[in-house]
Structure 1
Amino acid sequence: MYSQISDYGLIGDTHSTALIDRDGSVDWLCWPRHDSPALFLRLLDQEKGGACRIELDGRTGRSRRYLPGTNILESRFPTETGIGVLTDLMPVQPPETLPDEGPDGETESRIIRILVCREGSISGSFVVSPTFDYARVECTVSLQGDSAVFQGGSDQLRAAGSLRAAIEGRSARMPFRLQAGERAVVVLTHGEGERPPLDSVDDAIGRLEHTQRYWEQWSARCRYDGPYREAVLRSVLCLKLLTYSPTGAIIAAPTTSLPEAVPGDRNFDYRLTWLRDASFTVSSFARLGYTREAAEFLRFLRNADPTHGNDLGLMYGIAGDTPDEEELSHLEGWRGVDPVRIGNAASGQQQTDIYGELMAALHDFLNAVDFDPPQKTNDRLPETLANLVNQALSLRGKPDQGIWEMRDGQEVMLHSQAMIWVALSCAASMGRRIGTMDPAMLERWDQAADDVRADYLDRSWNEERQAYTMAYGSSTLDASVLRLVLFKAIDPHDPRMVLTLRTIERELADGDLIYRYRKDDGLRGEEATFSACSFWRVGVLAMMGRTREATELFERLLRRGNDLGLYAEEIDEATGEQRGNFPQAFTQVALISQALLLQDHPAQAVSGAQAA
């Protein structure tokens, strides 16, 4: 009875998000923040997890789309007697005055569901059944006028609107019967606070109009206007939803414990801020013209690391400490694949590549603002660069868990060592543009970068495998080497890199899809192909001059997302199903990056499938 991962669409308000399946059921919702305990979690347990469903009598079909340039989801449901159109949004609107820092929109911790009868007549019910604190807290429900109020410990949810609620056990049913042109509204509000009630159709339509205007104005700022604009815009709209505007944090994904292997135990919580993933997102924001969003993450880092780069963390909570990893054994997991985890034990790992990731993102941001950043970003920038370089150099030649967060030990990873080169190269470039840094120090950084590069190119080459491998002295292939070409840490025309790509395509590829590695990593189950790696291959082909091949591959990969243009972390090569947490910033960023790269490396002739 579980929906496929690709069946879900995402709505949100830059504080929290909700996942809605093709049938119009809100199956995942954490309130009031991305990392709050879920109160709708049917996604992870069909029996124990709550939802807000719509039951339409005589439904005969379904289709959906986002309203253009927005994160407002519209689902169309033909029935035996008519056609219903359901519009779902979390209201957000521009503030009267945009502050220099902080949220760029006013939010309400609400979900608004507007159902319109477009033809004939429709009937059915909305059914609201929350389960507070991951279904660990007893839920009670009572009526207050026509509204249903759910209480779980100190948490509260109100279901109001234009329909009369009736209690059924621990749920509330809100029946409707509509003729052509009539509307029904359901409003879910978290807590009470000082917000005025929102229970009329006119109020809901007003919020819809304000929210649509907010997203359309935001989308209009996107600088990319190439052939894949719709795919790029949908990806960056998704990334905006993964921000937490009060602090500027960026999460890796809005879900936890969607499995990367079926069966297996590769289930993790991604509702946290990984420095790596967030840095990818910052680069995408900066390159597409969303410099405010990029600056907001730098604000988050200033507050999270007041040492200006001397105490950089791998992972952060979005508004405080990173929670310890915990298993929720009372939940069965998506399709019964457990465990369900909250928190993430990888927070204690050493992952050296984060210095290169952050430095590259900072470089992209400064380029986007023509090296004229906000004063708070510019303040102590030379000191920050020096601190980050010193930290990166202290890890030269040392083992770590690497980009893939290995839980079976540490090695001296090629990707990690090459990202030290990226950190040094970007730091030297920024230092020269800043103009106030010691030239002799910048020359030392250049020399150190040359030394690091010579070392990893020599020590990671495996003559027998005819490839650059995962770690020094290793025989394991690792698709993260593709990413190093995109960072120019390895020359795309290096004969050894050409051989490495050939070996990866032979041993890690399954058609268009790429596994990140094939080795025993201490976890159960065989994971699916890694979507970001598949996109990185596009960029490598383009940089090698194989632009037509790269373009055609990119267009095929665009068809691998769901019908809304959203991607999870992985794709099961046998079934084509999405795997892992959804939607995944890492994958959406890889799509954006390759679209921009193809713009810089146009093919001589491309196929006709240019529309994303």
Structure 2
Amino acid sequence: MTDRPIEDYAVIGDTCTTALVARDGSIDWLCWPCHDSPAVFLRLLDEDKGGACEIVLDDVRETRRAYRPGTTILETVFVTATGTLRLTDFMPLHPLAEVPDEGPDGAPHGRIVRIAACEAGTVSGRFRVRPTFDYARDGAVLEPEAGGTVLCRRRSKPEGVRVAATVPLAVLGDRVEAAFALRAGEGVSLVLAHRKDDDGDIGHAAASLSATEGYWHEWSGRCTYDGPHRDSVLRSALVLKLLTHAPSGGIIAASTTSLPEAVPGTRNFDYRYVWMRDASFTVTAFVNLGYVREAAEFLRFLRDADHSRGRDLELMYGINGRVPEEEILDHLRGWRGVGPVRIGNAASSQHQYDIYGEFLVALHAFLDAVDYDPPVKVNDHLPEALGHLTDHVIRCRHAPDHGIWELRDETRQILHTKGMLWVALDRAVQIAEAVEVAPPERVEEWRRVAAEIRAEYHDKGWNPRVGAYTQAYGSDDLDAAVLRTVLFGAFEPDSPRVAATLEAVSAGLGDGDLLYRYRNADGFEHPEATFSACAFWRVGCLALAGRMAEAEPLFARLLTRGNDLGLFAEEIDAGSGEQRGNVPQGFTHMAIINHAVRLDRAARHRDAPMDEPFRQAVGA
């Protein structure tokens, strides 16, 4: 099958990188050794030129799959004409004897392990490995080795992938094959290893599976959410954990690049970087589930990436440096032929001032979770960082920007940005009230400027012609991002104008349960699909307004929009129901977590008003 639907893919990973596994068992996407490294397998973006690691079975009649509970270990069951085979896929991540205060909490091995076990009858087939290095720009040399392994290396560099199996390997042109014929109770294992000194260690695949399962069970067991949507929340938490980069502490936005947000269209972008906004959202989601260490690890990343301590905060970062310049790979056709395929991201040079609010929300949530007793390296730099961040807010309060949606045309006085600037100063004040980080006159300045910003966007953001708060000052365009500002307390959720805005956004941007971000021109030719996180924001606004009878069933229906494994991309095509955009998308999964927590807390306090600390703790 070619051009598989985006929702056909599952994700496995080891907190260094991830791989996407199709429903038929083909690994069609893998960047090694890091999330933003050049792709080794990229059939996801070009069926012909992009390599893969396939399992090819004779006469498959039925396929079903699931993750082992509480883990990222994927099991796919194939029923053939003659028997049943279970394929177990994982990237080894073993527990540490002692978890350090900072740094990775597990030991990734830089491998992919595939274990195929015949459970009934007989099953015959083969593994087929075809790497296409550097986004299929570099050739592969396949070299059989003395121990029965095969080294697949780049033609121009010593980098490569070593293939090992419990059955003989054969080099057939540009691929390696491992043929097998199994009876019930028999199995075969395949290991792909990235490290040059790794022989694949094929004899220890079962032990590695057990150790990896132990790591994930321990991690999942620390999730504090016990509400009615625990399975969805935990799966989303596991996705977010896979999007972390343990060596650095960074958190990327999504695993892939260039999966289109519009078909046809040119809205194809590279999300394998650390957005300040998306990472801050993820920090808040982690804190809401009790994963405070993951939040602290992101602060470690930021401390190492931004030596200015907030003076020169960037919109996005590469895992190991700056985001590369945007580049189009015109030799690749793109998913379903929808190009271009991009690496790097031009939005890294944009002005998006809402990031100060996003980060301060996350910092406030983290500090509150640790009772304002953070690690020494955070505490020592807190006054300086807070001073720099609030300086940014005050300096840019009147400036136009590109906003949360990274509009690639003109800058505007965007309402969401203004609301998040108020949020930034509000959280700075709350931090200062809990711990001495600034002199009283400075904190009073934050209060004063915050009040001025709030009064301004309440006045200039309201459009009486539209009967709603709109995307930008003087604009007639609706924007679902306005709903986010309500979730953070920038507007009163039960005010008549907010109620009118919610109705206007639902009517003007809604398509059933789904919401578009906006519908105005944005510099691209074709309109995009609905944005999944926006639909969850509507849930939050309904809950804050006390409309739980609407919020709870809407949330439950939205959860069914994921694939069979509970995974979401960035967007959903309202007509076909297909996923669109990069996958798995952290933005969507953090929205699932935060709104499940919001609904659970609201249900427990259904007869009591929702106080401000509750609103702020949950996030968006």
What TM-score do the two structures reach when normalised by structure 1?
Answer: 0.97
Matches within 5 A, 1:98-497: 98-145=99-146, 146-152=148-154, 153-154=156-157, 155-193=159-197, 195=198, 197-200=200-203, 203-497=204-498
Give the AA of the match of 1:566: L
> Matches of 1:446 and 1:565 in 2, distance apart?
42
> Matches of 1:63 and 1:393 in 2, distance apart?
55
> Matches of 2:437 and 2:255 in 1, distance apart?
41
Residues 17-46 of structure 1 deviation map (CA, whole Å, 9 limit, x = unaligned) = 000000000000000010000010000000
> Matches of 1:559 and 1:486 in 2, distance apart?
23
Deviation at 1:457, TM superposition (A): 0.7
> Matches of 1:436 and 1:15 in 2, distance apart?
35
> Matches of 1:483 and 1:28 in 2, distance apart?
33
Are 1:163 and 1:175, in contact at CA under 8 Å, matched by a contact in 2?
yes
Deviation at 1:277, TM superposition (A): 0.2
Deviation at 1:197, TM superposition (A): 3.8
Alignment-derived partner of residue 536 in structure 1: 537
- 2:504 counterpart SS class: helix
- 1:3 counterpart SS class: coil
Give the AA of the match of 2:273: L
Give the AA of the match of 2:277: R
Give the AA of the match of 1:187: V
Residues 309-345 of structure 1 deviation map (CA, whole Å, 9 limit, x = unaligned) = 1110001001112100000000000000000000000
> Matches of 1:41 and 1:93 in 2, distance apart?
27
> Matches of 2:500 and 2:303 in 1, distance apart?
42
Matches within 5 A, 1:46-125: 46-125=47-126
> Matches of 1:454 and 1:329 in 2, distance apart?
49
Give the AA of the match of 2:184: A
Give the AA of the match of 1:29: L
Are 2:354 and 2:421, in contact at CA under 8 Å, matched by a contact in 1?
yes
Deviation at 1:100, TM superposition (A): 1.2
> Matches of 1:254 and 1:297 in 2, distance apart?
18
Deviation at 1:435, TM superposition (A): 3.2
- 2:300 counterpart SS class: helix
Are 2:400 and 2:412, in contact at CA under 8 Å, matched by a contact in 1?
yes
- More deviation, 480-489/146-155: 146-155
Deviation at 1:601, TM superposition (A): 1.3
Residues 357-414 of structure 1 deviation map (CA, whole Å, 9 limit, x = unaligned) = 0000001101111111111111121221121111111111210000000001100110
> Matches of 2:446 and 2:152 in 1, distance apart?
60
Deviation at 1:528, TM superposition (A): 0.1
Give the AA of the match of 1:265: T
Alignment-derived partner of residue 611 in structure 2: none
Deviation at 1:196, TM superposition (A): 5.0
> Matches of 1:173 and 1:592 in 2, distance apart?
41
> Matches of 2:225 and 2:371 in 1, distance apart?
18
Give the AA of the match of 1:407: R
> Matches of 2:452 and 2:321 in 1, distance apart?
38
Deviation at 1:351, TM superposition (A): 0.1
Are 2:40 and 2:132, in contact at CA under 8 Å, matched by a contact in 1?
yes
> Matches of 2:398 and 2:441 in 1, distance apart?
24
> Matches of 1:255 and 1:94 in 2, distance apart?
27
Residues 411-458 of structure 1 deviation map (CA, whole Å, 9 limit, x = unaligned) = 011000110100000000001101353223222211211111010010
- 1:187 counterpart SS class: strand
Deviation at 1:142, TM superposition (A): 2.2
Residues 556-597 of structure 1 deviation map (CA, whole Å, 9 limit, x = unaligned) = 000000111110000000000000000100000011111011
Deviation at 1:166, TM superposition (A): 1.0
Deviation at 1:523, TM superposition (A): 1.0
Matched residues, number: 602
Give the AA of the match of 2:202: D
What TM-score do the two structures reach when normalised by structure 2?
Answer: 0.96
Alpha-carbon RMSD: 1.1
Deviation at 1:7, TM superposition (A): 0.3
> Matches of 1:521 and 1:437 in 2, distance apart?
41
- 1:293 counterpart SS class: helix
Residues 62-107 of structure 1 deviation map (CA, whole Å, 9 limit, x = unaligned) = 0100000001101011111111000000001122221111111111
Give the AA of the match of 1:233: L
Give the AA of the match of 1:186: L
Give the AA of the match of 2:201: L
- 1:394 counterpart SS class: helix
Give the AA of the match of 2:180: F
> Matches of 2:142 and 2:318 in 1, distance apart?
32
Specify every segment of 5 or more residues in structure 2 that has no aligned partner in the other structure, as ranges.
Answer: 608-620
Deviation at 1:192, TM superposition (A): 1.4
Specify every segment of 5 or more residues in structure 1 that has no aligned partner in the other structure, as ranges.
Answer: 606-612
- 1:62 counterpart SS class: strand
Deviation at 1:206, TM superposition (A): 0.4
> Matches of 1:370 and 1:111 in 2, distance apart?
40
- 2:151 counterpart SS class: strand
- More deviation, 241-250/376-385: 376-385
Are 2:76 and 2:88, in contact at CA under 8 Å, matched by a contact in 1?
yes
> Matches of 1:333 and 1:258 in 2, distance apart?
8
- 1:303 counterpart SS class: helix
> Matches of 2:161 and 2:586 in 1, distance apart?
29
Are 2:140 and 2:174, in contact at CA under 8 Å, matched by a contact in 1?
yes
Are 2:192 and 2:200, in contact at CA under 8 Å, matched by a contact in 1?
no
